[in-house]
Structure 1
Amino acid sequence: MKKIVKGLGIFILVIIIALIATPFIFKDKIKTIVLKTINENVDATVAFNEVDLSLLKNFPKASITIDNLNIVNKAPFENDTLFNADNFILKMSIKELFKGNEDPISIESFSSENAKVAIIFNKDGVANYDIALKNDTENNTSENSSFEVNFQNYTIKNLQFIYLDESTNTKVILDSIYHEGSGDFKNQLLDLDTKTTANLSFEMDNKSYLKNIALSLDAVLGLDLENSIYTFKENKALINQLPLEFDGFIKLMDAGQQYNLSFKTATSSFKNFLGLVPETYSGNLNQVKTTGDFMVNGTVNGNLTETTIPKFDVEITSNNASFQYPDLPKSVKNILINTRIINQTGIVKDTYVNLDKLSFTIDEDVFNAKATIKNITENALVNAELKGVVNLANITKAYPVKLEKPLSGILKANAITSFDMNSVEKSQYQNIKNSGSISLTDFNYEGPEMAKLFKINQAEIVFNPTQINLKQFNAETGSSDLKVTGVLDNFYGFLFKDQVLKGNFNLNSNKFVVSDFMTTTAADTTTVATSEALKIPSFLDCSLTAKATTVVYDNLNLKGVSGNLTIKDESVLLNNLNMSAFGGKISLNGKVSTKEATPKFEMDLGLDAVNIAESFTQLDMLKSIAPIANTILGKLNSTIKLSGNLTNEMTPDLKTLSGDLLGQLLNPELKTSNSKLLSALSSNVNFIDLEKLNLDNLKMALSFENGQVQLKPFTIKHQDITAEIGGTHGFDQSMNYTLKFDVPAKYLGTEATNLLAKLTPSDASKIESIPVNANLTGSFLNPKVSTDLKQATTNLASQLIEMQKGELINKGTDALTNVLNNVKSKDTVNKTTTDTIKTSTKETDKSKDSIVKNALKNLFKRKE
């Protein structure tokens, strides 16, 4: 017995060692087979991290795991990934590993996880999945393949399938696909038992028509592998909660597929219709009370090839139906639906939709619609008719629509339209036929793009054969009111083709408050809400003639505003905009753009007789450009050219401001008490009364950029004093100005006056004006004033002394000449006097004062 146990243990140990060692023995062989199969069958770039062989993972079966498998297309889909999966597992009998190199390995099952398949048809109709090598030799037929398909079962977990047709701009996405099947593929005839769930999304022309529609299918498919025929047997499908049953078959052919299918709803309850709507929007259907029926019946018959599609006829009907949710007060009654989607030729463009009847009633409001759409894929021809009334407030009372804010308002429609999409795209309005009207009253809207509740009191669109008129649009938001009328040029292009909305409009407003149209947002719960920059809609391309009695912008009240605006490409062009403000008139031309992250503007402003103190204190921009202007009482004519960025409040960002200003003062008065700078200047240059300066019609020019203002030098005159002023200052109120005064000497104080009194009037008139310089530095709030007035007075005193000396010399010389002439005539000149005169003329090294003193002294000591 011990020998038997010992022998059994040794056998088990050998088996375990074999199970562990075998993968290492056969790993290279399997990897070689995988690479050989790929190279012989696929014209694409295939990559994987590793090929592992395991005997333990699915014992008693062997499994081959290909990790991170990627299949990447070559031209014309170069670098597009056709297929990738986290792992791809093939299962087989262990004995398959011991086959010769020329014998194919039989695969019994496969599985994959987290895979993605992307099927693309380019604009030329070429598909990216056609990657099989085109070989004509018998050596590379499927009979000599390294693998042989003998599936018993397979599993696909979390597959994403994407279908993109670039020629029609159509995209279908099947996401979160979980699929499993079982059947014996060793037989040519078999039944394949499958279970499938997925989510369906559908887009066309970048518009979403279906999003995450839940699909499920439990089906037994009859497979005729020899003839490639797949027949629906037992099956149950759900589209959301709408049940469908299928009959018929699909046959694969060399040129495509042949379809012979029919389908229908399993039951006829109207609840099936509500089941088409995703549960997120339809709510819990189990407790909904419904009456009437709802049926879907269809057939698909014909061949799908490169040039044809199967013919089909899908009919959707409902008669005298109703529904009411248990927790909602309103019901929808008298529901009639009669729709058919048909193709009778097998040519795609001949598909058409006939909505023969759509009608429903909520309370006493009845709404009807009918439409036909033909030639869908090439140039859709649309005929539609809308007639009825809908109280929008009743929608959320009858159907569980999840809205942030409930709707309100009455929609009335009585309109007929006929158009084709080519005419819409090319703006060939003569081919569009319309009649009737659509109106909306008492509509309230709240949304993230609006700062405040937006109330449409009355809106009406009138359809004429050649155009669509916005007959009226009366709205309010905050304290603002709007009245708009005009013509819409491409209303259908805006609705159906994502084109910009074109038109010409007239806007009138009694009061327009800019902040009413500016949204606010909070960065987090601890911060105060801040405003977002006003965005000019990108979908507008229109001209607007505007008139407003009052426009409130920041802290300004602008009166009688009128002008023309052109809105295009997220910009507004302002032309001949006029308004009354600050006791005068303002004209404006320019541009505002919000296309970039930071709004920008450029403006040409004209100020006509505006109040200087008001305009330059209420407008931060003007206050920064000319801080001293608040000291001037009077009017101003000015032209201002400026550009820069705008803040979120749509006010100029002063750090980015640049431009020029030319101004002329009208009847100004200077109030030095309003300025620390002027007060300091007055105390340092007391020879002039600043408040008595005549500044009338004074013209000034300045430029500004990078927060600095450059004042072009200009000259002012007060009585017989002139001054030249120039320099710079910053928007931060720092300054560096120079004042050059030309001051008559009489204004330079008592010392200068006493000196002047010693001169004769004739000599005093010869004294020229004295230059006095003043430097203004520091800031307007903390000014520093320095002058050279003391030096100027000293210079004047020196000048007067020189003049007195010269005058004295002249007088002494004249006196000597007269005395000498008198002495000579009487022969009384003595030698001493003569010697003195000679000596005085020779002593050039002595000062003039000494010469005069000695001469006069000697002269008056002589005896007569």
Structure 2
Amino acid sequence: MKRIIVIILIVIAVLLGAVLAIPVFFKQTIIDVAKSTLNKQVNAEVEFVDLKMSLFKNFPKVTVDLQDVMIKGKGEFAQDTLLNVPRFAATMNISSLFSSNRSIEEVILENPSLNLVVAESGNVNWDVAPASGTAEKKSAAAADSEEFQLALENIEVNDARLIYNDKLAKMRADLEDINLDISGEMFGNTTQLNIGGVVRDLTYSMEGVTYVSNTSLDLKTLLDVDFESMLFTIMESELLVNRLPLELSGDFSVPNDTTFLNLQLNTKASDFENFLALVPKDYEQYLKDITTTGSATISGGVSGYYIDEDYPKVDLQVKVENGNFKYAEMPEQIQNISAEMLMGKPQGDLDLLKININKAHAEIRNNPVDLTFKISNPVSDPLFDGAFVGKVNLDHLKDALPIDSVNMSGIIDANLFVNGRYSDVEAEAYDKIKSDGVVLLNNFIYDSPELTQQVVIPSGKMDFSPATINLSDLNMRVGQSDFHLSGKIGNYLNYVLKDGVLNGTMKLNSNFVNLNELLSLQVAPTAENTTETASEEEAVLAFDVPENIDFTFRSSINRAVLNRIPITDIKGEVKAVDKKLILDGLDMNMLDGKMTMNGSYENTTQNQPLFDFGFDIAGFDIPALYQTVAGFRKLIPGAGNSTGRLSTSLGLKGRLSPQLKLIPASANGTGKFSTNNVEIKNSQLFNQLSGIIQKEKLRDVTIGDFTANLTVEDGGINLRPFTTKVIGQETSVSGTLNAQNLLDMRLDFNVEREMFGPDIQKILKVLPGNEKITMLPAGVLIKGPVGEPKVNLDLSATQKAVTDATKDDLKNSLNKLGDGLKKLFK
């Protein structure tokens, strides 16, 4: 008995060892066979990183896992990946490993991505069937193909993605998050298959226009399959488009390269409420708590055959009748909703497709809105014909729809018609397009929590022609600012239909503009864990200039205010183009002087706008500058009691902060500035010179008119040496102001003898030969923070001048002068 138990244990150990050894012994063989077979069967490059085998997971079946399977195209599709499967699992019977006929029973694909491309040449990347060769090659391929036989009973696809990109027809479909389960005997002559599939997100676009988005599909169907004739008949089917239940019936067959279809699609229920299920999921929240009446149906089918560019007949009808819907808490309802859309084509290419919205109609409190639209030749050269006629009272609309985020009121009266071909839009052959209409605005008000001010349009008129939209009598108020706009907007059809550039030339007149309000018009987002209202320092004032526009505003503004600076008589051009704001000769009166600005502004992703401005300033009043510009008060603290005028010509470029303040270290430029009739009163800086100049002369310090050149490098101002007169004394000035607002300046005076203070006069009188001294140099060093610099004297030049004038008894003279000066400046 003991021996029998030992023998059984040995047998079990040997079998277990064999089971463990099989994956090792057969792994490389299967990898080689799989790669060889796959690459011979397709005209593409097939690769996978690794192969894993498991005998225990589905024993007595073998599970083979291919890791990172990839199929790449050849030729013009060499850079395209047709199929990428992170995990491809196949299950086969263990006995197949020891047989020449290996059969696959189950296939599982995890996160596959299928990328179907139609090139502009018309070639497709999924045509990977190998070209026909010699009989020997065909025989070899047939022999290889017999190495794997399909005995499939289940196919499972998880979290797949499918992209269809037709570059020739400019059409694209994206299917995201696909899950598919097919069960049944997928071999033999006939069978029945249970198919369940879900597409969580379907998007479809054509010619850059998105027609379907955020749409989900859910399909459950029972297929009767005849493998000999490749005929598939739908026995039972349920299709959900979002939440709309549809019924799919009919059959299709693929006997050869041609696919034959005979499919019908119908709604299972005709209630208008079910039809609203077509609304994308992202907007379902807006359809809560509503009651509906009316009917809506979808019916039609696809019949014919498909091969190459020959597509089957399509006949689809969508119809809505007597529709009404009302929100529970709203006093008004949208009523008399009706629509009929026909989409169809005969057998042939896709260019035969026609879409026809015969009439879409709705009313709110007896105010009707009607829409018609037709499109044909969608592939080659779309022909469009549409009309919109309606009068919308926004106050009534608010009573019917819960528009919580914005507050709008007023009346929009529109009557628009358009007919033409897309090729004429591209060629800007607007004379071939029929377009006419007018939009009237009356007492329009727009108020949003994202804006700090109301936008009010008391009246406005827009006339539409094929080439332009003419604006006339468009009056607007934004907070305290008023605007009157007139002009033309061109290329609007190209802008709407093809993402072209919208251009326009407008006249902008205004009596008053509050730039402080406009710069903070958009409410700045507040960060978490902060107060609800951002402080002025935190508010983001940087703004983006829209792309795809080319607008010129010829401005004439009587009055404006920026910070506390009053500005008058603003004239010039402001352009918005290529995401830039360009100022071209913008003239204005401010600070009792004149300023002309030129340059550009462009925001960045970091909300640190780039600027490149030129300033020409003539005769700014210094006291007014001091009273209104905080930065000038910090730069020259005592200028409030001064008189005179400042002029400058400066080119400066750099970056601004999100609050539109200069980032000093980014600034670079060149320029010059000049003064006229400057007199500085009771200056703390000049009072520190009372040791050498008569104190009463320092009360009102006059500065001679001068012109100085400067450069700005990385935020630092370098003042080139220049000469002027201070209190009538010849003075040379030079220095720098760095980006940290630290001054380093030097003033070299030539002081006339009678200007010296009494103590200096006494010292000079005792010096031998002092009658020769009529003028002495004196240096003044100013260093430190702007507003509180330290003033030091440099008397080296003074000593040398005295030495040269009193060579006799030099030592005694210098000692007396040095002791006296030290006493004065302690």
Scaled to the shorter chain, the TM-score interval is: 0.7 to 0.9
1:771 aligned to 2:776? yes
| Deviation at residue 35 of structure 1 after TM alignment | 2.6
1:557 aligned to 2:566? yes
Alignment check: 8 A CA contact 2:215 2:281 kept = no
The 1:62–1:757 alpha-carbon spacing in structure 2 relative to 1, beyond 3 Å, is: closer
Alignment check: 8 A CA contact 2:703 2:724 kept = no
Secondary structure at 1:483's aligned position in 2?
strand
How do 1:817-828 and structure 2 match up within 5 A? none
Alignment check: 8 A CA contact 2:267 2:297 kept = yes
Secondary structure at 2:425's aligned position in 1?
helix
Distance 2:764 2:238 in 1: 123
Secondary structure at 2:38's aligned position in 1?
helix
Match of 1:743 among 728, 742, 752: 752
How far does the alpha carbon of each residue in 1:399-425 deviate from its partner, in whole angstroms, 9 at most, with x for none? 678x64465553321121223322333
How far does the alpha carbon of each residue in 1:794-827 deviate from its partner, in whole angstroms, 9 at most, with x for none? 548736989xxxxxxxxxxxxxxxxxxxxxxxxx
Residue 829 of structure 1 corresponds to none
1:583 aligned to 2:592? yes
Alignment check: 8 A CA contact 1:561 1:580 kept = yes
How do 1:633-782 and structure 2 match up within 5 A? 633-671=643-681, 673=682, 675-686=683-694, 689-690=697-698, 695=703, 697-706=705-714, 707-716=716-725, 721-730=729-738, 732-744=741-753, 749=758, 767=772, 769-779=774-784, 780-782=787-789
1:119 aligned to 2:136? no
Residue 313 of structure 1 corresponds to 315
Residue 128 of structure 1 corresponds to 125
| Deviation at residue 148 of structure 1 after TM alignment | 1.0
How do 1:179-578 and structure 2 match up within 5 A? 179-199=180-200, 200-252=202-254, 254-283=256-285, 288-326=290-328, 328-344=330-346, 346-392=348-394, 398=400, 404-405=405-406, 408-440=409-441, 441-446=443-448, 450=451, 452-464=453-465, 466-509=467-510, 510-513=512-515, 514-526=518-530, 528=534, 530-532=538-540, 533-578=542-587
The 1:396–1:183 alpha-carbon spacing in structure 2 relative to 1, beyond 3 Å, is: farther
Distance 2:303 2:766 in 1: 126
Alignment check: 8 A CA contact 1:746 1:752 kept = no
| Deviation at residue 50 of structure 1 after TM alignment | 3.0
| Deviation at residue 611 of structure 1 after TM alignment | 0.8
The 1:10–1:285 alpha-carbon spacing in structure 2 relative to 1, beyond 3 Å, is: farther
Alignment check: 8 A CA contact 1:474 1:482 kept = yes
Distance 2:234 2:353 in 1: 26
Distance 1:618 1:473 in 2: 34
Residue 74 of structure 1 corresponds to 74
What is the one-letter code of the residue matched to 1:418?
A: N
Alignment check: 8 A CA contact 2:113 2:160 kept = yes
Unaligned runs of at least 5 residues, structure 2: 811-826
| Deviation at residue 539 of structure 1 after TM alignment | 3.2
Secondary structure at 1:139's aligned position in 2?
helix
Distance 2:221 2:370 in 1: 39
Match of 1:619 among 611, 614, 629: 629
| Deviation at residue 641 of structure 1 after TM alignment | 3.3
Distance 2:763 2:266 in 1: 122
What is the one-letter code of the residue matched to 1:517?
A: L
Q: TM-score, normalised by structure 1?
A: 0.82
Alignment check: 8 A CA contact 2:418 2:435 kept = yes
Residue 852 of structure 1 corresponds to none
Distance 2:220 2:605 in 1: 53
Distance 2:129 2:763 in 1: 117
Residue 65 of structure 1 corresponds to 65
Unaligned runs of at least 5 residues, structure 1: 803-864
Distance 1:405 1:162 in 2: 37
How far does the alpha carbon of each residue in 1:135-188 deviate from its partner, in whole angstroms, 9 at most, with x for none? 433323446412111222322222222211222332212222222222323322
Distance 1:347 1:562 in 2: 58
Distance 2:713 2:50 in 1: 65
Alignment check: 8 A CA contact 1:390 1:410 kept = yes
The 1:617–1:53 alpha-carbon spacing in structure 2 relative to 1, beyond 3 Å, is: same
Alignment check: 8 A CA contact 1:410 1:443 kept = no
Residue 816 of structure 2 corresponds to none
Alignment check: 8 A CA contact 1:230 1:250 kept = yes
What is the one-letter code of the residue matched to 1:247?
A: S
Secondary structure at 2:806's aligned position in 1?
helix
Alignment check: 8 A CA contact 2:704 2:725 kept = no
The 1:692–1:3 alpha-carbon spacing in structure 2 relative to 1, beyond 3 Å, is: closer
Residue 806 of structure 2 corresponds to 798
Secondary structure at 1:377's aligned position in 2?
coil
Distance 2:594 2:288 in 1: 69
| Deviation at residue 680 of structure 1 after TM alignment | 0.8
Distance 1:5 1:382 in 2: 88
Secondary structure at 1:298's aligned position in 2?
strand
Alignment check: 8 A CA contact 2:703 2:727 kept = no
Secondary structure at 2:341's aligned position in 1?
strand
| Deviation at residue 376 of structure 1 after TM alignment | 1.4
Alignment check: 8 A CA contact 1:283 1:400 kept = no
Secondary structure at 2:122's aligned position in 1?
coil
Q: State, as a whole percentage, how many aligned pairs show the same letter.
A: 24
Residue 31 of structure 1 corresponds to 31
Higher alpha-carbon Rg: 1
Bigger shift: residues 117-126 or 463-472: 463-472
What is the one-letter code of the residue matched to 1:422?
A: S
The 1:790–1:4 alpha-carbon spacing in structure 2 relative to 1, beyond 3 Å, is: closer
> How many residues were matched structurally?
790
Bigger shift: residues 740-749 or 603-612: 740-749
The 1:70–1:743 alpha-carbon spacing in structure 2 relative to 1, beyond 3 Å, is: same
The 1:526–1:333 alpha-carbon spacing in structure 2 relative to 1, beyond 3 Å, is: closer
1:601 aligned to 2:616? no
Distance 1:616 1:729 in 2: 19
Alignment check: 8 A CA contact 2:650 2:671 kept = yes
Secondary structure at 2:274's aligned position in 1?
helix
Distance 1:48 1:592 in 2: 52
The 1:610–1:309 alpha-carbon spacing in structure 2 relative to 1, beyond 3 Å, is: same
Residue 839 of structure 1 corresponds to none
Distance 1:92 1:72 in 2: 27
Secondary structure at 2:528's aligned position in 1?
coil
Distance 2:402 2:104 in 1: 51
| Deviation at residue 83 of structure 1 after TM alignment | 1.9
Secondary structure at 2:251's aligned position in 1?
strand
Q: TM-score, normalised by structure 2?
A: 0.86
Residue 139 of structure 2 corresponds to 139
Bigger shift: residues 744-753 or 40-49: 744-753
Residue 166 of structure 1 corresponds to 167
Distance 1:799 1:4 in 2: 134
| Deviation at residue 369 of structure 1 after TM alignment | 0.8
Distance 2:402 2:605 in 1: 39
Distance 1:757 1:7 in 2: 133
